[in-house]
Amino acid sequence: MLETSARLLRLLSLLQARRDWPGRDLADRLGVSDRTVRRDVERLRDLGYPVHASRGTDGGYRLGAGTAMPPLLLDDEEAVAVAIGLRTGAPGIEETSARALTKLEQVLPSRLRARVDALRTSTEPVPADRPGPAVDATVLSALATACRNRERLRFDYRAHDGSSTLRVVEPYRIVSWGRRWYLVAWDVDRDDWRTFRVDRVAPRVPTGPRFPPRDPPEGGAAAYVARGVSSAAWRWRARVVVHARADVVTERVNPAVGVVEAVDEGTCVLDTGAESISSLAVHLGLLDLEFDVSEPPELIEHLRLVAERFMRAADGRGEA
């Protein structure tokens, strides 16, 4: 019995590792006959694993997706990686991740629990400046499914002041930005692209009819969110002419920090911002490129002060 159980686990591991397996290859890897492989496949099916078989000279086996989730087989490294990922938790779904981690740790072998615990006790994450809003994983899944299937969505959307409106949209992408999740969608009633915070979305069912794909917003979903959401959150903004190609600047600018627009082959405009003038100056300094600033005047004055400070430091005059 133990030998059969071990062989079933080995067979399941092989089926999960590759999409298609010829029956003869499975028999060779397991060191058994083709008939034994067929019997073991039937046992896996009895346990809830949908193993599909094909006949003929090229016949073989494939592990399919079932209607119910059977026991999941992970090797040691995979189990530890999943546990670490759940412990860090994606923004907004930390509580859901914690519940899943508790269930996983209950079934981990002691040797793996010790490894996960060692990583937990030896790792000190940098705390977020403030927690993000909680997001219902079911809502995230529903939005993602509608995006994939290109199905119209109807949902109640809660505004910042607490008021609620019914929105009808053609969902395009979900973007994780900072501590929040956003849905980028074409607003049918407003005939334009819009960004919606997922934690303020309450979907209505059923979803609407399918819609044909349309051209995405300029720069894609992430850039669209960066332009709209980040600019609304910035206290200070600046449009800076950078003397370099747009692709060069794009490689050095996180979408959360700014949006790059090409002007010509050697010049581009960076639309950026920050919570403080000093942070804005730091972002520009990290470009390590030539740039011109025309506004705001507070940024120009701060850059002059920083330049003078650096010149004194370079000349060894320190506190002049």
Rounded to two decimals, what is the model's pTM?
0.56
Phi and psi dihedrals of 82, rounded to 5? Answer: -65, -45
- Per-residue pLDDT of 124-152, as tens digits, reads 665 555 566 778 888 888 899 899 999 99
Residues 262 and 296 reside in one and the same domain: yes
Residues 40 and 95 reside in one and the same domain: no
- Nearest CA among 276, 247, 279, 284 for reference residue 262: 247
pLDDT value at 28 more than 80: yes
pLDDT at residue number 195: 93
pLDDT value at 115 more than 50: yes
- Per-residue pLDDT of 231-249, as tens digits, reads 566 778 888 999 999 999 9
The structural domain count of the chain equals 4
Q: Which residues contact 252 (CB under 8 A, 6 or more apart)?
A: 286, 287, 288, 289
How does strand 192-197 pair with strand 201-204? unpaired
Q: How many CA atoms are closer than 13 Å to the CA of 166, on its beta-carbon side?
A: 3
Residues 143 and 208 reside in one and the same domain: yes
Location of structure tokens 């501590």:
179
Q: How far apart are CA 238 and CA 216, in angstroms?
A: 26
pLDDT at residue number 244: 94
For residue 297, being part of any structural domain is answered with yes
pLDDT at residue number 67: 46
pLDDT value at 188 more than 90: yes
For residue 128, being part of any structural domain is answered with no
* Average pLDDT estimate for 98-107: 74
Q: Quick check: 213 and 150 in contact, CB under 8 A?
A: yes
Domain with 31, as residue range(s), is 2-63
For residue 291, being part of any structural domain is answered with yes
pLDDT value at 42 more than 70: yes
For residue 69, being part of any structural domain is answered with no
End-to-end, the C-alpha distance of the chain in Å comes to 84
CATH number at residue 186: 2.30.30
For residue 168, being part of any structural domain is answered with yes
For residue 127, being part of any structural domain is answered with no
Q: In what order do the strands lie in the sheet with 51-54?
A: 21-22, 60-63, 51-54
For residue 84, being part of any structural domain is answered with yes
Q: How long a stretch of residues is the chain? A: 320
Residues 239 and 269 reside in one and the same domain: yes
CATH number at residue 31: 1.10.10.10
For residue 42, being part of any structural domain is answered with yes
